[in-house]
Structure 1
């Protein structure tokens, strides 16, 4: 079994769609795959990102979704997880997340664990998602996009991962919103340059703008051999 951690450079980078597409690719290639969500804010019941994963995969909910193994922490308020949890007088128990991942690893070949927001999102005032990744050392798949500001956020994410010795398995470049071909082409060149500069030997996978119900032509074989 292998667990990959999917993080975005910030919120709304497209990591839920990327996670769903990767899961669909692996499922269609006969890999025993499940997705997990670190925590979910801004909804009730089953994590809306887990629902997005299943919709993209074209499958029904797993039993592990229904019993909340794939996302045990769901909070109503759309905010950073530390705040959303505090507003409901709760705390995010890292050990419970670890136990959920362990359960999934025992049942599936591959677990895609989607984070929440960017790399340095606080889980509590003294513990961030970055601290979690430094401890667990999951191979990270980092999702970036073509939004203005993404180059800055991406390069800062790469530098902090290098400084924390967090392994990078791949960089996903989400074309959405794809407002400029000049930005799309230049960003790819910049990312290749800085991956090499920071010493990361991993592929860049591009995701075109797509509809959830359609098949996106994405070269995920670069990530999963």
Structure 2
């Protein structure tokens, strides 16, 4: 099973969410692995994969050193299509798919983190959301309490619905700089939006990474996996 993880924008907390999800699933007994589609702004092993391992509480894995957990790494901190073009390269979605399939042979689930938001171009012809739709992966969408998140989240949900992408859960990242009034209202609006779109989707609060995984978060993530497994039967 592959579960895609994307966000409503850059910097919304996808990497932390992916690492925390993986830690929760590890603690529940799953043989989980994380993968990053494309990393820009670094060299060598993708820095987001390094952060995944730190949050999971494990060391770097053989599949990390083999490049399977991030097939494309570019030095320029830009959109994947531009970062690749600057180096005279191009992101080939088929390469990502092959790497994911190899991980699936050893791990379940594979949590596949995207780059930026859903509409980020992977190359000149393929948006990240197009790749997810073609791959038919269920999606965990990361949102936040920041001002503007309602608009960004509703647009993301509409785009997923239009492309037939199943939103398995919406992870709510409560930033400390948001007032309690805004944070609570935003969560309420998003919960209603998710309920209207798909009664089986759920809004899950992302725990503070500095405090570790909570029992509730662990149970909620296991419930997401169980729901996806039942729908695949």
Which runs of at least 4 in structure 1 moved beyond 6 Å after TM superposition?
none
Cα distance in structure 2, aligned partners of 1:48 and 1:37: 10
Structure number with the higher helix fraction is 2
Partner of 2:114: 115
Residue 215 (structure 1) aligned with residue 212 (structure 2): yes
Cα distance in structure 1, aligned partners of 2:176 and 2:46: 24
Unaligned 5+ segments in structure 2 are: 227-233
CA contact (8 A) 2:23 2:213 kept: no
Partner of 2:93: 94
Root-mean-square deviation (CA, aligned residues, Å) is: 1.3
Partner of 1:184: 183
Larger mean CA deviation between 195-204 and 23-32 belongs to 195-204
Instruction: Give SS of 2:115's match.
Output: coil
Cα distance in structure 1, aligned partners of 2:198 and 2:24: 28
Residue pairs, 1:141-160, within 5 angstroms: 141-160=140-159
Task: State TM-score, norm by structure 2.
Answer: 0.92
Q: By how many angstroms is 1:125 displaced? A: 2.1
Instruction: Give SS of 2:140's match.
Output: strand
CA contact (8 A) 1:205 1:220 kept: no
Partner of 1:49: 48
Larger mean CA deviation between 173-182 and 129-138 belongs to 173-182
Unaligned 5+ segments in structure 1 are: none
Larger mean CA deviation between 81-90 and 193-202 belongs to 193-202
Task: State TM-score, norm by structure 1.
Answer: 0.95
Partner of 1:126: 125
- Count of residue pairs brought into register by the alignment: 222
